[in-house]
Amino acid sequence: FRQTLHMRRNFIGRSCKLHFEAAPLKIVRASRQYLYDDTGQEYLDCINNTSHVGHCHPHVVGVGQEQMAKLCSSSGFLNEQTTMYAKHLISTLPESLCVCFFLSSGSEANDLALRLAAAYTKKKDVICLDGAYHGNLGTLVEISPVRYKKIGSAHQPREWVHVAPTPNTFRGKFDAKTENPGLLYANELIKVFQKAYQDGRQIGAFISEPVISASGMVIPPENYFPCIYRYVREQGAICIADEVQCGLGRCGEQFWGFQLHNVVPDIVTIGKPVGNGYPLAAVITTKEIADSLMDFTSTFGGNPVACAIGRAVLEVIENEKLVSSAKNVGKCLKDGFKAIQPKHPMIGDVRGVGMLIGVELVMDKESKKPAREAAEILIYKMKERKIIMGTEGKDKNVIVLSPPLCFTTDNARYVVQHFSEVLANIES
Ligand code: PMP
């Protein structure tokens, strides 16, 4: 352990985030919703949404191993794994979204989505939300205000990035008690759009997650997306849904996050869960938008191992009915946190859908001042109880849960009980 930590500190960039920086874990093995450290200690994983169907799922591992022994790279050649996976993936989406591009990370997928939008609309500017994170490539850092602010105050978004307020009804301009907050927030975005036009800018794309995970699982209110999608399209721009966190059944009931809002995007980007931990990402769009890009290659995108694994993940989701499980277990988690909320002065908000849950900690319920330090202490104390959680949001005061979809209702009750005990100690 000491040697690994020493080497990590010496040889890996200091800015590469390590979970529990002050007391890191060395994880050597994982299975289903459990992680195991170098001493054999088991931890309940509440945050690894990449290992979507469960860490090292035997079907996914078996298919991956078999394909790896047969053919790993087929860049530039016909390959059945790639085409069959594309067909299967497309069958889960609305009819208009019928062409896939494969890549290896969510950042690459969002980068390509922006390139496609610019190629199709011939307009280069982008509108995004101030609580967003869309990736770590140069252009994406600009449209990820939550993270770029940390880079330093000198770093401002460029003139081609237009930032609208995140439609948060807990601590935004319009709260849940306001009449139709969805429309009011949509108007805020429209104002940003109009200001850009007045300044002579041309917006080609609106990008957002359907559930804004980087802001701590903020679900935009009713009417928000339908109103914005209509306006954006009227202006000759297109709508990109970043499903890197909320896609593939995580929201429960619906397979895709945008379906929660009754809209159909022009481009969908996916990453994290699709390869269950193996690097795999995709952009799915309409034929017209896909055809607007003349030339595209990706050495690793669509490699047969990744695509065989992607197919296996879809099979497991179907065979194990993980979408309805995400709905039921997610409801149990959310109801559990809602039930303890009244007795905890520091639980300001409980929100989310399916297996994407956020619990926002505040200093007190009147001021709603973000309780960042308490959130940090809480995740360390939970770790002592062998439960792994994380924090999100601009102030890092939202405890987030997005566990592998094999998480059970017993796991959910166990987590809520320990969370309540630990928080009570912090509050006293
Ligand atoms: N979009 C969202 C919503 C994300 O959460 C992330 C990763 N946290 C990305 C894009 C970037 O994905 P990756 O880290 O695979 O490049």
The pLDDT value recorded for residue 159 is: 87
Q: Within this chain, do residues 399 and 374 fall inside the same structural domain, yes or no?
A: yes
79 & 219 share domain: yes
- Smallest CA-to-CA distance from 337 within 387, 400, 381, 379 is with 400
Q: For tokens 């914005």, what's the residue?
A: 228
Chunked in runs of 10, what are the mean pLDDT values of the chain (428 residues)? 91 88 94 97 96 98 98 92 98 98 97 97 96 88 74 64 96 92 98 96 97 96 98 98 98 96 98 97 98 93 97 98 98 98 98 98 97 98 98 96 98 98 97
What does the pLDDT read at residue 149? 61
Residue 353 φ/ψ, nearest 5 degrees:
-150, 145
Predicted local confidence at residue 153, as pLDDT? 44
Q: Looking at ligand 1, which atom is closest to the CA of residue 209?
A: 3
242 CA from centroid of ligand 1 (Å) = 9
Q: Which of 298, 307, 286 is nearest to 233 (CA)?
A: 286
Establish whether residue 303 lines the binding site of ligand 1, counting it when its CB lies within 6 angstroms of any ligand atom: no
Q: Measured from the CB, is residue 50 less than 6 Å from ligand 1?
A: no
- Cβ of 134 closer than 6 Å to ligand 1, yes or no, is yes
Tell me: do 75 and 49 sit in the same domain.
no
| CB 198, CB 381: distance < 8 Å | no
402 Cβ below 6 A of ligand 1: no
Q: Could you give the count of Cα atoms lying within 13 Å of 377 in the half-sphere of its Cβ?
A: 11
Domain boundary among 319, 347, 366: 319
Which of 260, 290, 319 is where one domain is finished?
319
User: What is the ipTM score, two decimals?
Assistant: 0.99
Asked if residue 326 and residue 307 are part of one domain, the reply reads no
The answer to whether residues 249 and 397 belong to one domain is no
Q: Within 13 Å and on the Cβ side, how many CA atoms surround 170?
A: 22
Query: Which atom from ligand 1 is nearest to the alpha carbon of 106?
Result: 12
Residue 48 Cβ contacting ligand 1 at under 6 Å: no
Helices (H) and strands (E) in the chain, counts: 13, 15
Q: Where are the beta strands (DSSP E) in 197-300?
A: 203-208, 238-242, 267-270, 281-285
Residue of 142, 146, 272 to test ligand 1 pocket, by largest number of atoms within 8 Å of CB: 272
**Ligand 1, from 49, 133, 207: best to mutate by most atoms within 8 Å of Cβ?**
133
Using the mean position of ligand 1's atoms as its centre, give its distance from the Cα of residue 145 in Å. 13
Q: Cα(177) to centroid of ligand 1, in Å?
A: 32
- In the 8-state DSSP scheme, what is residue 55? B
277 Cβ closer than 6 Å to some ligand 1 atom:
no
Domain with 370 in it = 2-53+321-427
Whether 45 and 64 share a structural domain: no
DSSP letter at 343?
Answer: G
The answer on 284 and 161 residing in a single domain is yes
Decide: helix, strand or coil at residue 19.
coil
- Among residues 225, 190, 188, which one has the least CA distance to residue 208? 225
Question: Are 250 and 123 within one domain?
Answer: yes
Does one domain contain both 120 and 192?
yes
Query: In terms of domains, do 180 and 281 share one?
Result: yes
What pLDDT was estimated at residue 150? Answer: 56
Q: Please tell me the total count of domains within the chain.
A: 2
Nearest alpha carbon, ligand 1 atom 8? 135
Q: Is the pTM of this model over 0.90?
A: yes
Torsion from C-alpha of 243, 247, 251, 254, nearest 10 degrees: 110
CATH number for the domain including 136?
3.40.640.10
Cβ(247)–Cβ(281) below 8 Å: no
105 ligand 1 Cβ < 6 A = yes
Q: Look at residue 155 in the predicted model and tell me its pLDDT.
A: 57
- Do 276 and 158 fall within a single domain? yes
What is the chain's length?
Answer: 428
Cα 181-187-188 angle, rounded to 5 deg? 90
Residue 237 makes CB contacts below 8 A (sequence gap 6+) with 117, 121, 123, 127, 203, 204, 205, 206
Domain boundary residue, one of 293, 319, 345: 319
- Write down the pLDDT at residue 363: 98
User: What's the CA-to-centroid distance between 335 and ligand 1, angstroms?
Assistant: 28
Whether 123 and 222 share a structural domain: yes
Closest among 343, 334, 323 to 405, alpha carbons compared: 323
Residue ID of nearest Cα to ligand 1 atom 13: 106
Judge if the beta carbon of residue 111 lies within 6 A of ligand 1: no
What's the gap in Å between 300 CA and the centre of ligand 1? 18
Contact 110 CB / ligand 1 (< 6 Å): yes
